[in-house]
Amino acid sequence: MREAFAAYGPSLEENPPVAVGHRVVHGGSRFVDPVLVTAEVEAEIEALSVLAPLHNPANLAGIRSAEAAFPALPHVAVFDTAFHQTLAPAAYTYAIDAEVARDHQVRRYGFHGTSHKFVSEEAARFLGRDTAELRQIVFHLGNGASVTAVRGGRSVETSMGLTPLEGLVMGTRSGDIDPAALFHLARTAGMTVDELDVLLNRRSGLLGLSGRSDMRDILSGVEEADAAAVLAFDVYIHRLRAYAGSYLALLGGVDVISFTAGSARTPRACAPRRWRPWASPGCGSMPPATRRGAAASDASPRTTPRSTCSSCPRTRSWRSPGRRSPSPSPERAHRVQIPDAGGLPFRRPTALRWTGGAMTSRPDVTTLPQRGLPCLKTSLISAPWEACSSTSTAC
């Protein structure tokens, strides 16, 4: 490990470390805060590997390798599950035999907690709002994907469950599936428990549907009109929207929708045409673009949104087929209705997307399109945030 630092940097001589932090995926109900790594902690992480077989063994190997390289430094483990320890019993309890669930620790734990916590706090900071006053939906869309409903800075619902297998469609994982499908495969295909585990964790999701697990490859397949890639993308987006609608109802409205991780960096994966109902132009209006702290302009909003983004190849207008955009009225200002979510109104939603990497400068401009759901995004390293309407197919 020290050789790798020497070869690729940063220099340990110029930047001597004072501690080593480790991300661990599954902490069960035992770990609710960061902890100093001890032999006992390592043993518990190993015991929890049965609940996260793709992750905890690798996490533990990293801890032990780092301990060998930096034996004099304190090592701290941070757990993906910790942020979701605020879930209420109604949210984390599965409706199975209570004694069986208790004896075998079967409950919803949730994952990607470090990401969901950071993104929800960063979204609030960017908007100049207190996390305590915001209802947020955070999408972590990497090869592993999850979504969390955050109210007042606390996780109140999340898509992953006992293991990181439940929930959204992922790169190689199935996400939600009828449990009886496994009984059916065991009886008719003669598949063992281990074979079913491999099927759902390593041979399903986007890979199982299309033979491609990377969203960039999926989108290339969509452009090539590959039927399997088109279906995989449609299934992926359908699941995202289904969860978003569910969490919208659970929160009673939403103030911020955020996207992060690898697939959120992929052009058109943040706001493809299938997300248009989130910003139906005939259902309300947004105030003109403003800088943080500046008063909104008195200019009348347009009746047709224009989608502009420095990374989009063009600026275009879009009107919902078969409907006319009504003239906005004062009582409809700041409200957007989502037809695909039962027409539930909510106030001034904002969608954020950043591409990961280091953020060395704080975003200083908030731009809100006059109509529609904005998608704010930045380049890989510390570029100013930019806005584009999510009605753009190229954004």
**Contact (Cβ atoms closer than 8 angstroms) between residue 319 and residue 325:** yes
Question: In Å, what is the CA distance from 234 to each residue of 5, 239, 265?
Answer: 42, 9, 18
Q: Which residues of 89-113 are buried (b: 16+ CB within 10 A; e: fewer)?
A: eebbeeeeeeeeeeeeebbbbbbbb
d(CA 20, CA 67): 9
Six-digit token pair at 304?
């047709």
Six-digit token pair at 84?
């979701």
- Kindly compute the dihedral angle of the four CA atoms of residues 22, 24, 28, 34, in this order, to the nearest 10 degrees: 20
Q: Which residues of 233-269 are buried (b: 16+ CB within 10 A; e: fewer)?
A: bebbbebbbebbbbbbeebeebbbbbbbbbbbbbbbb
Catalytic-residue membership of 176: no
Six-digit token pair at 152?
């007042």
Catalytic residue among 80, 194, 234, 255: 80
d(CA 355, CA 377): 7
Alpha helices in 128-276 (DSSP H): 180-188, 193-202, 205-210, 215-223, 227-251, 262-265
What is the set of active-site residues? Answer: 80
